[in-house]
Structure 1
Amino acid sequence: MVKNNNGPIIEREKKTVSFMIGLYCQKKHHHPKNKLCNECNELKQYALQRLTTCRFGEQKTTCEKCPKHCYRKDYQQKIKHVMRFSGPRMLLYHPILAINHLYKNLKYRN
């Protein structure tokens, strides 16, 4: 059975990953704000779909702390690259999302 997660935690995760991909595309691929290249749009749609069907639902940790990585290897490498680039810049461009993400990582510390 496929879950359809759309609670507040999953929605915040979707907003965070969307922002990170958008920031990456804007800075690395030189696309205007709120416009994604095909590669980044494909990654974003994949990430959103994975969040929607996440087996952990509203108890989800951040992907970094997740015990079961659900991304295909090629997408996993792409999203890691995006997050390494965008993560540190989030404090400048969207501090609220950045602080929420950092808090969640600390909360689920192993």
Structure 2
Amino acid sequence: MMEIKTHDFNDTKIAEIISDEMIINSAEDALDLVGNIYYQGFDKVIISEKNFTPDFFDLKNKLAGDVLQKFSNYRIRLAIIGDFEKYESQSLRDFIFESNKGRQINFVGKLSEAL
């Protein structure tokens, strides 16, 4: 079961996805979510790290790139909340660092940072 909680922040509607289940297991799942969010009038979304398949954080399989491309194509800004320090992969750390320099995709530690 997935819930979409709306946050109003600086006259912007932000969707926070709340679920105990993995929501994004594939690029198709991401596209479904993006379409859902987009048609509800959101242009920003917050999702917890636990809602992504662990494969997302293994850059070798290209899933992260495919998923994030869906958000970029619709110009939906995405914040992923989690503890990213636990990942050993230097390429993933570099990817997170580079993403956080921009405004499209951000990896943050808590909801207040995401907002």
Asked if TM exceeds 0.5, the reply is no
Please, what TM-score do these two structures have when normalized by structure 2? Answer: 0.31
| More RCO (CA 8 Å, sep 6+) | 1
Q: Which has the higher strand share?
A: 2
